[in-house]
Amino acid sequence: MFPILVTAANSFMSSFEVTSRYTSAITAANGFNISGHIHYVEISLIPDFVTIGQYLKLLFGSPLYLGLFWNSVGITLPVIGGQMLISIPSAYAFEMSKFKYKEIVFFIYITVMLMPLQVVLVPNFLMAELLHINGTSLAVILPGIFNPFGVFIIRQALKGMPKEYIEAANVDGANHLQIIILIIRPMTASAIAALTVLTFIEYWNVVDQAVVFIKDSSAEPLSVYLSRLGNESFGMIFAASCFYMLPPVFVFLFGHNNMVEGIQLSGIK
Amino acid sequence: MTLLVLALPSLVGLLGFYVIPFVLSISLAVVDNSVLWNFVWMQNFKEVLSSGAFQTALKNTGIFMALCVPLNMVMPLFIALLLNSTKSLRTSFGVIALIPLVIPTGSTVHFWQSLFGLNGLINSLLFPDNPVNWLNTDYARWIIVFIFIWKNAGYNMVLFLAGLTSIPKEYYECASLEGAGSMRRFFMITLVYLTPTAFLVLVMSIINSFKSFKEIYLLSGEYPHSSIYMLQHYMNNQFGASNYQKLASASYILSIFIIAMVLGLFLGQNKASRYL
């Protein structure tokens, strides 16, 4: 919790103060606090002068920031939407089908899911070249939509669900699509919430794939920008981090009850 | 039939974006360079396996996983056991525990730097005369382990809590009626019925330990200290150097390890569930 409080509190400091407190630069304000030749970081929760200078500079001084914000949104939202559209029917099909080699196919899903990012980066890169989407954000979005984690987590939730509901619906003559929309979706609401939050975090935070696939620095997502900001203009970093932190926290608070249940459900096979 | 149609987008996407390109990339691994396609078969694999960087990376990744995964399973288990006995604060603890996971890496990286860096808090409190950039020493590994546990313990704790609450109380009552002490109850009931949950926690911990690459990268850049140079760094740098051959070979070696691990987990899980 502490890192979060520090980031939030420090975002109200003026840029001068951030520089004096956190960098090794020696300024007028911290001249008295040097031991040896190095000025140490003073982490504090209470700024000397409470200003919203950082935020102002962030939002109005550099219009770049908001653009990048929408870039991040433009990556994360399609991934989540696509996952919903694709993983839920797929998990339903896995659960219901009596295909002989179903488990072997699922095993492939799990193996792909376990692969670390770098192993999948090469195949994704090859595919992006082939489809000529290399260099656009589609190259990050499309592999994200087909990430097997979604199918996994929803199928686990479905395993714990009594099948009688579906059988009753079948008797009443519902077709598969109706079953999915009217029964599966409400019943796996917690798993869906967990999937949404986890996928949101993962793609809001995307650094690697974005660095590889998106070369145009006006199209890069916020996460990449933030990691470079630390080396450039130090003053804005806390406000930038706060702003960056807000959407995931917001999404989390929105769905946390469901999410905790969803994570729990995925553990009970 | 319609079931197949429903599953088709996901299958096609998975095959098209992950499986098939992966199989195709073996063609990259067996050639000399991208321009002249000379088949050199296993030479790339041999080069990768014998390169010092790869061996260091392999050793570091292995040590990191061997440190993180057990720690990240035992500690949350303890906390979950403690929480299980007090009914009240469970949901709020769940929220608090999950918050570190939700905070994006970009925001916390700066905080960690100001703790462990050259002019960091640790230095000023403990070693004011002799500051050291802790991320550049052998202690860097422990720092990363600490950051990993800070971030992921909550997730495992929630999973364990769920597993614990799913064990029916009757087993415990029955055991204490028959005079089993609490140690006996713990080992014979709790651990045994927690096995499926423990497997899931193990799998998720392994996945998350690979993901910790992001923190290390944001903290230390492309060539961190040699004790935290991971396989992902190796592959990332090969990617940057457009050394696709070595990259593909390294991917294949890594994936063979992972497939072996998944098979091991699956077989172990089947055996364990038969025992139950």
Give B31's DSSP letter.
B
Contact (Cβ atoms closer than 8 angstroms) between residue B154 and residue B102? no
**pLDDT band (50, 70, 90) for residue B78:** confident
Contact across the interface for A36 and B236, Cβ inside 8 Å: no
Least confident of A27-36, A129-138, A244-253: A27-36
User: What residues of A are in contact with residue B115 (Cβ under 8 Å)?
Assistant: 41, 43
Contact across the interface for A90 and B217, Cβ inside 8 Å: no
Tell me which range, A113-117, A230-234, B193-197, is most confidently predicted by mean pLDDT: A113-117
Q: Are residues A13 and A98 in the same domain?
A: no
Q: Above 50 in pLDDT, residue A269?
A: no
In the Cβ-directed half-sphere of B154, how many Cα atoms lie within 13 Å? Answer: 20
Q: Are residues A87 and A26 in the same domain?
A: no
A83 or B164, higher pLDDT: A83
Q: Count of domains in chain A? A: 2
**pLDDT band (50, 70, 90) for residue B1:** low
Q: Are residues A143 and A180 in the same domain?
A: yes
**pLDDT band (50, 70, 90) for residue A146:** confident
pLDDT of residue A18: 54
B120 or A173, higher pLDDT: A173
Q: Above 60 in pLDDT, residue A77?
A: yes
How far A74 CA sits from the closest chain B CA (Å)? 17
pLDDT of residue A48: 55
Domain residue limits at B134: 66-225
By Cβ distance, the residue of B158, B218, B231 closest to A207 is: B218
Q: Are residues A47 and A135 in the same domain?
A: no
Give me the CATH number covering residue A92: 1.10.3720.10
Averaged pLDDT, B164-182: 71
The mean predicted confidence, pLDDT, of chain B is 73
Averaged pLDDT, B201-210: 79
**pLDDT band (50, 70, 90) for residue A96:** confident
**pLDDT band (50, 70, 90) for residue A268:** very low
Distance of CA A242 to the CA centre of its chain: 15
Condensed to tens digits (0 to 9), the pLDDT of residues A24-49 reads: 444 444 444 444 444 555 555 555 55
- The reply to whether B36 falls in a domain is no
User: What residues of A are in contact with residue B94 (Cβ under 8 Å)?
Assistant: 256, 260
Q: How far apart, in whole angstroms, are the C-alpha atoms of residue A245 and residue A11?
A: 12
Residue with tokens 């980066």: A121
pLDDT of residue A24: 45
To 10 degrees, what angle do helices A138-145 and A189-204 make? 150
- The reply to whether B107 falls in a domain is yes
By Cβ distance, the residue of B10, B102, B261 closest to A249 is: B102
By Cβ distance, the residue of B9, B108, B235 closest to A86 is: B9
- The reply to whether A57 falls in a domain is no
Least confident of A10-19, A84-93, B82-91, B214-223: A10-19
Domain residue limits at A185: 63-221+250-267
pLDDT of residue A126: 76
Q: Are residues A86 and A176 in the same domain?
A: yes
pLDDT of residue A30: 47
- The reply to whether A245 falls in a domain is no
- The reply to whether A243 falls in a domain is no
Instruction: Name which of A145, A214, A208, A138 is nearest B211 in CA terms.
Output: A208
Q: Are residues A41 and A19 in the same domain?
A: yes
Q: Are residues A14 and A92 in the same domain?
A: no
Contact across the interface for A114 and B262, Cβ inside 8 Å: yes
pLDDT of residue B209: 80
Averaged pLDDT, B82-100: 67
Q: Are residues A47 and A79 in the same domain?
A: no
User: What residues of A are in contact with residue B259 (Cβ under 8 Å)?
Assistant: 111
**pLDDT band (50, 70, 90) for residue A68:** confident
Q: Are residues A47 and A122 in the same domain?
A: no
- The reply to whether A192 falls in a domain is yes
Give me the CATH number covering residue B119: 1.10.3720.10
Q: How far apart, in whole angstroms, are the C-alpha atoms of residue B116 and residue B133?
A: 7
- The reply to whether B18 falls in a domain is no
pLDDT of residue A255: 65
Contact (Cβ atoms closer than 8 angstroms) between residue A238 and residue A256? no
How far A251 CA sits from the closest chain B CA (Å)? 9
Q: Count of domains in chain B? A: 1
Residue of B nearest to A211 (CA): B240
By Cβ distance, the residue of A24, A36, A245 closest to B107 is: A245
- The reply to whether A56 falls in a domain is no
By Cβ distance, the residue of A22, A176, A259 closest to B114 is: A22
By Cβ distance, the residue of A43, A180, A212 closest to B239 is: A212
**pLDDT band (50, 70, 90) for residue A10:** low
- pLDDT over 90, % of chain A: 0
How far B257 CA sits from the closest chain A CA (Å)? 10
> Chain A interface, mutation test: which of B4, B17, B114, B193, most A Cβ atoms within 10 Å?
B17
pLDDT of residue A25: 45
H or E segment to which residue B218 belongs: helix B213-220
User: What residues of A are in contact with residue B217 (Cβ under 8 Å)?
Assistant: 207-208
Contact across the interface for A122 and B161, Cβ inside 8 Å: no
Contact across the interface for B25 and A267, Cβ inside 8 Å: no
Q: Above 60 in pLDDT, residue A230?
A: no
Q: Above 70 in pLDDT, residue A239?
A: no
The mean predicted confidence, pLDDT, of chain A is 69
Q: Above 70 in pLDDT, residue A86?
A: yes
Q: pTM of the full predicted structure? A: 0.74
- The reply to whether A234 falls in a domain is no
How far B175 CA sits from the closest chain A CA (Å)? 23
**pLDDT band (50, 70, 90) for residue B127:** low
Q: Are residues A36 and A86 in the same domain?
A: no
Condensed to tens digits (0 to 9), the pLDDT of residues B44-66 reads: 677 777 777 778 778 888 888 88
Q: Is the sign of the CA dihedral B37, B43, B48, B51 positive or negative?
A: negative
Averaged pLDDT, A57-64: 61
> Chain B interface, mutation test: which of A122, A185, A234, most B Cβ atoms within 10 Å?
A122
By Cβ distance, the residue of B113, B129, B161 closest to A36 is: B129
Distances B139 to A81, A148, A188, B230 between C-alpha atoms, Å: 42, 36, 44, 15
**pLDDT band (50, 70, 90) for residue B175:** confident
Q: Are residues A82 and A205 in the same domain?
A: yes
Q: Are residues A34 and A158 in the same domain?
A: no
Contact across the interface for A268 and B166, Cβ inside 8 Å: yes
Q: Above 50 in pLDDT, residue B174?
A: yes
- The reply to whether A236 falls in a domain is no
Contact across the interface for A3 and B11, Cβ inside 8 Å: no
Cβ-Cβ pairs closer than 8 A, A with B, add up to 258
**pLDDT band (50, 70, 90) for residue B220:** confident
- Rounded to the nearest 5 degrees, what angle is found at the Cα of B154, between the Cα atoms of B67 and B224? 45
- The reply to whether A227 falls in a domain is no
How far B254 CA sits from the closest chain A CA (Å)? 8
Contact across the interface for A93 and B254, Cβ inside 8 Å: no
Contact across the interface for A237 and B110, Cβ inside 8 Å: yes
> Chain B interface, mutation test: which of A145, A146, A180, A236, most B Cβ atoms within 10 Å?
A146
User: What residues of A are in contact with residue B96 (Cβ under 8 Å)?
Assistant: 1
Contact across the interface for B210 and A146, Cβ inside 8 Å: no
Amino acid at B128: P
A11 or A134, higher pLDDT: A134
Contact across the interface for A124 and B21, Cβ inside 8 Å: yes
pLDDT of residue A94: 80
Q: How far apart, in whole angstroms, are the C-alpha atoms of residue A98 and residue B5?
A: 14
